[in-house]
Amino acid sequence: MTANSIADSFQSVRHFTVRLAQPLSAEDCMVQSMDDASPTRWHLAHTTWFFETFVLAQESDYQPFDPQFKFLFNSYYNTVGDQYPRQRRGMISRPGLEQIQNYRRHVDQQMIQRLQKPDFAAKHQRLIEVGIQHEQQHQELILTDIKHALSCNPTWPQYHALPLDRTADSAADGDSTRSKTPINIDEGVYEIGHDTNGFAFDNESPRHKVFLNQCAVDSVLVTCGEYLQFMNDGGYQQPQHWLSMGWSAVNQNGWQAPMYWIDVDDVPMFFTLAGLRPVDLDAPVAHVSFYEADAFARWAGKRLPTEFEWEIAAAQTTIDDDAPFVDWLLDRQLAIHPTRSPHGFCGSVWQWTASNYLGYPGYKPPAGAVGEYNGKFMCDQHVLRGGSVATHSSHIRPTYRNFFPASTRWQFAGIRLAE
């Protein structure tokens, strides 16, 4: 990448984050509704902290905007220093939103000014690229976190209004006729992982060989209508479908449906970023945990694919042209439940796999603090593949590995089956 292209990419991602926060009030930006989520204001500051800490602070003439921010907005980088407790981020009322916006402008100005110098761009290119991708991940988290926060409000507020007549636009008229034939994978040895063309995170490498038994991966995602059949068949009341920890989670948390499903006068409704909407039975089911995905698969007489089966199946399909995240929310139907056709392999919902999140053979975290980005989380997590309606286009690739604990529900996570 040239210095100009790096600068353009940097400014584009920074501007888009600000646009995502525009519909929110200062009060909205401070809410932290659970330990796993962060306030929007924290996301705005932390993504700025990343560029200041890993790029600007490496320059001898740079002066930090506020030395206290190194502690307040460090997420989990122990090599850099201590962090403010994650579960208490919503308690930080100061610095206020205005000061955080000033912080962003300060760092942006410093970055853009220095990117005019080719030597600076060349020296920091890799970390700037990581920072851009990192901010795009936080753009997705801004949306999933504020959705959870707004769902805690009994008035069902909207993040962004969306006309009702747009809710069906995302599924093409001909989608219902597209093939549901499973994607067959022959027994054999396959190559897995990033091939070094384009950006990828360190956990997508090294590319390596795996042996797969003959199997078939569904070409369609599980729909809300299909999941409703599981619910109506007593899926949440029958322990034989559930892993032990999953059954405990059902009983401890009172799960009876996917997250954000609400019965209103016996009509299944779904809380979205555009408020409360009727459940679209033809849309991919979303906001289910690994436990629920696994239980549904057992009920259906199938299983979840491994991440390797998923990657090989994805490589045999064509990612829909409309899958990538575009310039603004309404063009992507992002404000509502993902109503895109279940035929799309990527870009609708993240898909749970049967694989634990581990390093590939020969994996070594990068040197320095950035080595904490992925490697140290390779424990008690499950891999998800495919990207969701909230995922940036640069993350829509067959090798991208997302990961969350098995009980996670607030992400746009759904189900693809295999056998």
CA distance 241 to 300: 10
**Going by C-beta distance under 8 Å and a sequence separation of 6 or more, which residues neighbour residue 291?**
242, 243, 245, 246, 249, 250, 406, 407
Q: What is the pTM of this model?
A: 0.91
Cα Rg of the chain, angstroms:
22
Fold of 164-414: paralog of FGE (formylglycine-generating enzyme) (3.90.1580)
Confidence at residue 175, expressed as pLDDT on a 0 to 100 scale: 47
What are the C-alpha distances in Å from 285 to residues 264, 343, 388? 19, 13, 12
pLDDT in tens, the chain (419 residues): 677 889 999 999 999 999 899 999 999 999 999 999 999 999 999 999 999 999 999 999 999 999 999 999 999 898 889 999 999 999 999 999 999 999 999 999 999 999 999 999 999 999 999 999 999 999 999 999 999 999 999 999 998 765 444 443 333 333 444 568 999 999 999 999 998 888 899 999 999 999 999 999 999 999 999 999 999 999 999 999 999 999 999 999 999 999 999 988 888 899 988 888 899 898 899 999 999 999 999 999 999 999 999 999 999 886 554 443 433 343 444 444 444 557 778 888 999 999 999 999 999 988 877 777 888 889 999 999 999 888 887 888 899 999 999 999 999 999 999 99
CA distance 324 to 261: 26
Would you mind telling me the total number of residues written for the chain in this entry?
419
CA distance 228 to 407: 20
CA distance 375 to 203: 7
Q: Are 103 and 64 in contact (CB under 8 A)?
A: no
Confidence at residue 345, expressed as pLDDT on a 0 to 100 scale: 85
Q: Phi and psi (nearest 5°) for 369?
A: -60, -35
Confidence at residue 396, expressed as pLDDT on a 0 to 100 scale: 85
Residue 270's H or E segment, with its range, is strand 267-272
Number of neighbours of residue 363 by Cβ within 10 angstroms? 17
CA distance 353 to 313: 13
CA distance 31 to 8: 32
